[in-house]
Amino acid sequence: MTILGVDPGTLTTGYGIIELTKGTLSVLSCDAVKNESTDPMPVRLKKIFETLSLVMDQFNPDMLAIETAFYGKNAQSALKLGQARGVILLAAVKKNIPTHEYSPREIKKALVGHGNASKQQVQYMIQSQLQLKKLPKGFDTTDALAVAICHLQRSLQPAKRYVSWEAFLSSHPEKIRHHPKAKQA
């Protein structure tokens, strides 16, 4: 199984390709698409699309895992991130590569065990799980590898089935809006 993980951004888009063969996990490639802040947005998006399309052609991944958009206070940043994600998803769809999305918290939880992990903790786990002698350059690249590993872990776990909504809600009381364990907005 070959997975392309992507950490999207308009200035830097990290990507990492991992492969699981006969129980051995290895990195086939990892890098980042770097754009200049002075480049117009259409030029940045074209570079992201073309670079990742070439990576997909070269490694023919079975699936793409991408980090979902982080919704912060800056609407303009969220819009730009959405554009980068759009061209990445388009590249995958054009190559008939199934896509899966994970939130930053899900990714951190899958790698480190909790959703509030620091970037350094994620890097440490990437280096440990992939048995890398040295870390790839930049958080964007290690974050992309983390997205790929998160998807690998999720795809290997059997899906938990619930017989009813009541069974689901009893297993997840935090999902109930007025439950004491639920986060209040």
At 145-172, the pLDDT tens digits run: 999 999 998 887 666 666 677 776 777 6
The two three-digit tokens of residue 100, written as one number: 């899966």
- Domain for residue 183, yes or no? no
- Does any domain span residue 26? yes
| Per-residue pLDDT at 115 | 78
Structure confidence at residue 12 as a pLDDT band (50, 70, 90):
very high
CATH number at residue 53: 3.30.420.10
Count: domains in the chain: 1
Q: For residue 185, is it within any domain?
A: no
| 182 in any annotated domain | no
Full residue range of the structural domain in which residue 137 is found: 2-159
Give the pLDDT of residue 61: 97
Note every long-range contact of 41-47, with CB atoms under 8 Å and residues 24 or more positions apart, other chains counting.
41/10, 41/80, 41/83, 44/10, 44/11, 44/84, 45/10, 45/83, 45/84, 45/87, 46/87
Given a cut of 80, whether residue 105 has pLDDT beyond it is yes
Residue 14 maps to a domain: yes
Of these residues, 31, 36, 57, 67, which one is catalytic?
Answer: 67
The yes-or-no answer on residue 67 being catalytic is yes
**Is 31 known to be catalytic?**
no
Tabulate helix, strand, coil % of the chain (nearest 5).
Answer: 45, 20, 35
How does pLDDT run across 39-82, given as a tens digit for each residue? 999 999 999 999 999 999 999 999 999 998 766 667 778 788 88
For residue 63, is it within any domain? yes
Respond yes or no: is residue 57 known to be catalytic: no
Q: How many helices (H) and strands (E) does the chain have?
A: 6, 5
